[in-house]
Amino acid sequence: MVGEFELIQHYFTSAACARTGGAVELGIGDDCALLAITASDHLAVSTDTLVETVHFPVNAPANLLAQRALAVSVSDLAAMGATPIAFTLALTLPQADPQWLKNFAQGLEQMAAQCQITLIGGDTTRGPLSITVTVLGQVPRQQALLRSGAKEDDCLCVSGNLGDAAAALAWVLNPEKLMTESTDFLLKRYWQPAPELALGRYLLGKATAAQDISDGLLADAAHIAKASSKQLCIDPQLLPLSKALLQSCSKLQAVQLALTGGDDYRLVFTLPADKLAALQLLFPDVTQIGYVTAGEGVKLINADLNSLSLAHVGYQHFERTE
Ligand code: ADP
Ligand code: MG
């Protein structure tokens, strides 16, 4: 069976209807598509779906679900350096429960205010619970942060701690699990990821490639490596790990979660080394985790590879089987 990305490539990217040109500046393959609508800006568009039992468990709190659904989509605008404009909401519900809807609407309101984005439409249907958010944003023409521009000797950076959301999964899936001092912090990172909009905008004209981390650092960095035809070297010892994460598991487990756990919605990006110091003055959480070289794929450096078990390097909805 083909994997998720082969499936998209085979049936959709190569389809005649997916050909770019005219007003379609950039089509399938990046965090957002880019449409040339005005003389100065591109319209950035992205859509994401969350499905009950796949992306979140049954009985997940509605207000948190709404916040996460909107944040996950807006994160793709941040990854392009785009400023949010509006979003649509396609909601499929098993039943119309007023209390659930009230909580959902409250969560949506909170994240929309945080991201300064306006709800402009959607669709409401009955069926198994799923939430689809399509976001629209604007970005100055020719400046959007793509996955394809990484240059040799650029430094490779992430925008903040990794692995927190993946560590929270144990409590998301089992709310009965004994809470520890760090649980609240980790759960917040899972349910209310903060799209890195200010950083994305700052990186316009500076970063050479960027994307958000939704499937895990190794998997997502591999997309930049492939699109840029370069090798990305990552030093696991440089990965920024929160105190809460280190309190919740061993150092080795924390590093593994940071490398392979998805859901953090941080940005991973490449930047000419002479721009790093100024960036870190404004965004102190930005951390260099490696660099770009000639070659392909993602390579771990300075790592005791025997101790890391990286069998699953990122979540795919349809795993490839030989
Ligand atoms: P992201 O993690 O940034 O949301 P995905 O990994 O889900 O992106 O998707 C990779 C690329 O493939 C994106 O450009 C997305 O728009 C595109 N894509 C995913 N599914 C489909 C589909 N069914 N038809 C067309 N394009 C798709
Ligand atoms: Mg993305």
Atom of ligand 1 nearest to the CA of 212: 3
What is the CATH classification number for the domain harbouring 245? 3.90.650.10
Q: Are 14 and 7 in contact (CB under 8 A)?
A: no
User: Domain tally for the chain?
Assistant: 2
150 within a domain of the structure (yes/no): no
The residue whose C-alpha atom lies closest to atom 9 belonging to ligand 1 is 29
Domain co-membership, 73 together with 203: no
Q: Are 50 and 130 in contact (CB under 8 A)?
A: yes
C-beta 81 within 6 A of ligand 1 = no
Atom of ligand 1 nearest to the CA of 30: 14
C-beta 220 within 6 A of ligand 1 = no
Cα 128 to ligand 2 centroid, rounded to whole Å: 25
Domain-terminating residue out of 106, 140, 174: 140
Domain co-membership, 113 together with 183: no
The closest ligand to the CA of 200 turns out to be: 2
Structural domain that includes position 105: 38-140
276 within a domain of the structure (yes/no): yes
Helices (H) and strands (E) in the chain, counts: 10, 12
Whole-model pTM? 0.94
Atom of ligand 1 nearest to the CA of 32: 14
315 within a domain of the structure (yes/no): no
Cα 158 to ligand 2 centroid, rounded to whole Å: 14
Determine the pLDDT at residue 322: 45
Domain co-membership, 179 together with 279: yes
pLDDT per position as a tens digit, 212-269? 999 999 999 999 999 999 999 999 999 999 999 999 999 999 999 999 988 999 999 9
pLDDT along the chain (322 residues), means of 10: 88 96 96 96 98 94 98 98 98 97 98 98 98 98 97 98 96 88 94 97 98 95 97 95 95 94 94 98 98 96 68 54 48
d(CA 132, CA 121): 12
Atom of ligand 1 nearest to the CA of 214: 2
Domain co-membership, 123 together with 179: no
Q: In sequence order, what are the residues at sequence separation of 6 or more whose Cβ sits closer than 8 angstroms to the Cβ of residue 29?
A: 13, 147, 227
DSSP string, 148-201: S---TT-EEEESS--SHHHHHHHHHH-TTSPP-TTHHHHHHHHHS----HHHHH
Cα 73 to ligand 1 centroid, rounded to whole Å: 12
Cα 79 to ligand 2 centroid, rounded to whole Å: 7
Q: 267 in helix, strand or coil? A: strand
Beginning with the edge strand found earlier in the chain, give each strand of the sheet holding 24-26 in spatial order: 24-26, 33-36, 41-51, 130-140, 83-93, 118-126
116 within a domain of the structure (yes/no): yes
29 within a domain of the structure (yes/no): no
Domain co-membership, 113 together with 179: no
The residue whose C-alpha atom lies closest to atom 12 belonging to ligand 1 is 29
Nearest to 93 by CA among 105, 75, 106: 105
Domain co-membership, 133 together with 159: no
Q: 3 in helix, strand or coil? A: coil
C-beta 28 within 6 A of ligand 1 = yes
C-beta 8 within 6 A of ligand 1 = yes
